[in-house]
């Protein structure tokens, strides 16, 4: 798996030509097949290794539901990195999209339809519209002002849902009326997949989330490898130069914000389906903080770093805090994460993924 820009269409250009003719722009380019297939394999093996493989899972103490949760937060962090790592904008208000989508999906399931697919669509649509509006407002100022403005707007939503809108959102208690139906009217999300798939993936819920995750990775990869995504990086590197070249920086930033809102929306809706409950805290600014920590920990500016970061964060939050592997760490798990976070920013701004890549480059002699 690599997220380096590939030499355009060198390997599968011949094989892909006839397909490319048929479906035009949707044909895979360059490294895309390799990246997406690699992701799919890793995600397919992950729950087995994490929660069912004989020796390893005993060491890890993992469980199925946490594997699903890691993918969900992974999508969130992936989208967040589109903004922070690639466009260079630090938003402290992504809880707005995560929470907004979570509530929308929840209310939608109760009022309209419990179909998981429709719930995700509804939640994501809401998040995208919200990101459009908030991005439009927040992007009037750059740098720190952007961080503070996004933070302010997200907090406004938090307080909106905590009391004035409590009749819909359930106020302090969160939204409890989630009614998720079966997938395509056939498969209960909590039931196991048949035969080998059941052993590998576990539940239908995981399969559902996994497919969406792979699609998200493919989408993000496609965006980032396209000329459009290159502009994001150009803006991060030098805003003025991008402006002088004739790019409308503001519009690209807004689109980057909306796109990251889209991913946050998908993740937020899945979170509702996963937990059948929307806590009020999903709007609180510490939720935004969590995704910031995950992204930075894993490594900004890389495709898979944020997902790794999400995995590490949730692992520490759910397993280490329970006293595994050492009992005495348990009460200090958050403190340790904070320390690791600060050390990461200080001495290793490229995060875990950057570290892994450096090691790989050392082993392979710097060749990609």
Partner 1 sequence: MSFHIEAITVLLNGLQQGAIYVLLAVGLSIILGTLKFVNFAHGALYLIGTYSGLLLALEINLTSGQLQEWGYGQLGLGLGYIPALIIVPFVVFVVGLAMERWVVEPFKDRPDTDQILVTFGLAIIVQELFRAFFGSSSLPFSQPAWAQGPPQVPFLTAIPISSWRYYVIGITAVLVLIVYLLVEYTDFGLIVRAGTRDPEMVELLGIRLSRPYIVVFGIGAALAGVAGVVGGPLNPVNPTIGNEILVPAFLTVVIGGVGSIAGAVLGGVLFGLTQAILVATYSAWAQVGLYAIAAVVLLVRPQGLLGEAEVAP
Q: Which residue ranges make up the site for partner 1 (CB under 8 A)?
A: 84, 88, 90, 92, 137, 140-145, 147-149, 151-153, 155-156, 159-160, 162-164, 166, 285-286, 289, 292-293, 296, 331-332, 334-335, 337-339, 341-342, 345-346, 349
| Three-class DSSP category at 283 | helix
Beta bridge partners, 341, equal none
Please state, in angstroms and rounded to a whole number, the distance separating the CA atoms of residues 354 and 91.
22
Question: Measured from the CB of residue 169, what is the shortest distance to partner 1 in angstroms?
Answer: 12
* Site of tokens 């920990």: 297
Using the minimum distance from each CB to partner 1, give the nearer residue, 166 or 247. 166
Using the minimum distance from each CB to partner 1, give the nearer residue, 163 or 248. 163
Residues 6+ apart with CB under 8 A from 122: 104, 105, 108, 112, 269
Using the minimum distance from each CB to partner 1, give the nearer residue, 209 or 297. 297
Question: Measured from the CB of residue 342, what is the shortest distance to partner 1 in angstroms?
Answer: 4
Contact at 8 Å (CB) between 265 and 128?
yes
Structure token digits, residue 323 = 């006293």
* Site of tokens 């490319």: 20
Question: Measured from the CB of residue 128, what is the shortest distance to partner 1 in angstroms?
Answer: 20
Beta bridge partners, 175, equal 278
Using the minimum distance from each CB to partner 1, give the nearer residue, 184 or 332. 332
Question: Measured from the CB of residue 107, what is the shortest distance to partner 1 in angstroms?
Answer: 19
Using the minimum distance from each CB to partner 1, give the nearer residue, 261 or 301. 301
Question: Measured from the CB of residue 248, what is the shortest distance to partner 1 in angstroms?
Answer: 19
* Site of tokens 């809108």: 165
Using the minimum distance from each CB to partner 1, give the nearer residue, 78 or 149. 149
Using the minimum distance from each CB to partner 1, give the nearer residue, 186 or 347. 347
Question: Measured from the CB of residue 156, what is the shortest distance to partner 1 in angstroms?
Answer: 4
**Among 108, 109, 80, 78, residue whose Cα is nearest residue 93:** 80
**Left, alpha or beta for 174 (phi > 0: left; psi -120 to 50: alpha)?**
left
Question: Measured from the CB of residue 77, what is the shortest distance to partner 1 in angstroms?
Answer: 14
Give the ranges where the chain is alpha helix by DSSP (H). Answer: 13-23, 32-47, 54-60, 64-81, 95-111, 116-138, 143-162, 166-169, 195-200, 204-225, 227-237, 239-245, 249-275, 285-298, 305-318, 333-347, 351-364
């Amino acid at each position: 798996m690599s997220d380096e820009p590939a030499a355009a269409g060198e390997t599968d250009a011949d094989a892909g030509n006839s397909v490319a003719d048929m479906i035009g722009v949707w044909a895979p380019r360059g490294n895309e097949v390799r990246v997406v297939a690699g992701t799919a394999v890793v995600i397919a093996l992950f729950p087995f290794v994490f929660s069912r493989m004989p020796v390893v899972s005993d060491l890890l103490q993992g469980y199925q539901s946490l594997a699903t949760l890691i993918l969900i937060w992974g999508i969130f962090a992936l989208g967040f990195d589109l903004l922070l790592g690639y466009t260079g904008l630090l938003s402290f208000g992504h809880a707005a999209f995560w929470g907004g989508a979570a509530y929308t999906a929840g209310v939608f399931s109760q009022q309209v339809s419990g179909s998981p697919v429709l719930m995700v669509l509804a939640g994501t649509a809401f998040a995208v519209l919200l990101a459009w509006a908030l991005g439009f407002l927040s992007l009037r100022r750059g740098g720190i002002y952007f961080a503070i403005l996004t933070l302010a707007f997200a907090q406004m939503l938090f307080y909106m849902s905590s009391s004035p809108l409590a009749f819909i959102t359930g106020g302090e208690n969160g939204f409890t009326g989630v009614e998720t139906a079966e997938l395509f009217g056939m498969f209960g999300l909590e039931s196991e997949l048949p035969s080998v798939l059941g052993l590998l993936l576990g539940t239908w819920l995981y399969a559902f989330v996994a497919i969406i995750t792979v699609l998200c990775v493919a989408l993000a990869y496609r965006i980032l490898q396209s000329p459009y995504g290159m502009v994001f990086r150009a803006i991060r590197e030098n805003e003025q130069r991008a402006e002088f070249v004739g790019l409308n920086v503001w519009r690209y930033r807004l689109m980057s914000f909306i796109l990251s809102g889209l991913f946050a929306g998908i993740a937020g809706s899945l979170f509702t389906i996963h937990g059948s409950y929307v806590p009020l805290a999903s709007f609180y600014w510490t939720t935004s903080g969590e995704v910031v920590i995950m992204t930075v920990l894993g490594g900004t500016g890389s495709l898979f770093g944020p997902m790794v970061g999400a995995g590490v964060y949730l692992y520490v939050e759910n397993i280490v805090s329970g006293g595994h592997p050492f009992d005495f760490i348990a009460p200090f798990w958050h403190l340790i994460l904070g320390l690791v976070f600060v050390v990461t920013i200080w001495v290793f701004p490229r995060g875990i993924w950057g570290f892994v890549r450096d090691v790989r480059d050392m082993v392979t002699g710097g060749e990609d």
